Amino acid sequence: MRALLIKSGRKHAVYALASRSRCEVLDVIEKLMTDDRKTAEKFLAVIERFSEGEAVYQGAIKSLKDGIYEFRCNRRGHWLRVLWFYDENNGRVVICTHAFIKKSNETPKGEIRKARDLLRAYKEARRSGDVEFIEE
């Protein structure tokens, strides 16, 4: 399992899970940079402030359940969501599982299940030393 560094700040280092060939979180952000640059920039600003330990606007971070959180960014009625969790071995490390765009304010249960499954897989990989942190 690979974790790609998105942003490292004074308080948190934010990583995104990746397979050998792709990273869903970075793919969504890259597509947004083309389709809706302002939303992508707004989201990246949230990550920047969060990683530095600075306050973010109300609603930008939401606790879901079972240790899963989401970064939320709304623009023109579309919600960019990135689900994530804290690394249990290092509370400074945040692992983003995946990203999606929704028109409604509610987070689909299937997306939360996907994040929980990735959290379990991450914990297992971490215990066996099979997580590669990439800081390029």
DSSP 3-23: EEEEEE-SS-EEEEEE-SS--
pLDDT truncated to tens, each residue of the chain (136 aa)?
Answer: 999 999 999 999 999 999 877 899 999 999 888 888 888 898 999 999 999 999 888 889 999 989 999 999 887 777 889 999 999 888 899 999 999 988 877 889 999 999 999 999 999 999 999 999 999 7
- The count of domains in the chain is 1
115 near 100, Cβ under 8 Å? no
- With a pLDDT cut of 90, the percent of the chain lying above it is 64
Residues 41-53 pLDDT 10s? 989 999 999 999 9
For residue 26, the 8-state DSSP code is: H
**Mean pLDDT of all residues belonging to the chain:** 91
Q: What is the CATH number of the domain that holds 105?
A: 3.30.2310.20
Give strand ranges (E) for 19-136. Answer: 61-63, 69-75, 78-87, 90-102, 132-134
Could you give the CA distance from residue 22 to residue 34 in angstroms, rounded to a whole number?
18
For 69, the domain range is 2-134
